[in-house]
Amino acid sequence: MTLQQLKYFVCVAKHQSMSHAAKELFISQPTLSNSMKELETEMGITIFIRNNKGITLSSDGMGFLGYARQVLEQTSLLEEKYLGKKVKKVQFSVSTQHYSFAVNAFVDLLKDFEMDSYDVQLRETRTYEIIEDVKNLTSEVGVLYCNGFNRQIIHKLLKESDLEFYPLFLARPHVFLGKENPLAGCKKVTLHDLERYPYLSFEQGNYNAFYFSEEILSTLPREKTIKVSDRATLFNLLIGLNGYTISTGIISEELNGPNIVSVPLEVEEEIEVGYIRNKNAVLSKFGIYYIEKLKEYSVL
For residue range 166-185, list pLDDT tens digits in order: 999 999 999 999 999 999 99
> Containing domain of residue 198, as a range?
89-300
Question: How many angstroms from the chain centroid is the CA of residue 107?
Answer: 14
Q: Residue 193 belongs to a domain with what CATH number?
A: 3.40.190.290
Query: Quick one: pLDDT at residue 244?
Result: 96
Q: Flag whether 55 is in a domain.
A: no
The domain total for the chain is: 1
Query: Quick one: pLDDT at residue 89?
Result: 67
Q: Flag whether 196 is in a domain.
A: yes
Nearest to 171 by CA among 127, 215, 126, 231: 215
Q: Beginning with the edge strand found earlier in the chain, give each strand of the sheet holding 141-146 in spatial order.
A: 118-124, 90-96, 141-146, 271-278, 163-171
Phi, psi (deg, nearest 5) at residue 199 = -100, 125
What span, in angstroms and rounded, lies between the C-alpha atoms of 275 and 162? 14
DSSP annotation of 183: T
Query: Quick one: pLDDT at residue 66?
Result: 81
Q: Flag whether 22 is in a domain.
A: no
What is the per-residue pLDDT across 245-282, written as a single tens digit (0 to 9) for each? 999 988 877 777 789 999 999 999 999 999 999 988 88
Other CB atoms within 10 Å distance of the CB of residue 68: 23
Does 300 have pLDDT greater than 60? no
β-strands 118-124, 90-96: how paired? parallel
Q: Flag whether 286 is in a domain.
A: yes
Q: Flag whether 7 is in a domain.
A: no
Q: Flag whether 61 is in a domain.
A: no
β-strands 141-146, 271-278: how paired? antiparallel
Question: How many angstroms from the chain centroid is the CA of residue 7?
Answer: 25
Nearest to 127 by CA among 234, 200, 211, 218: 211
Does 79 have pLDDT greater than 80? no
Does 94 have pLDDT greater than 70? yes
Q: Flag whether 58 is in a domain.
A: no
**Would the pTM of this model clear 0.85, i.e. be above it?**
no
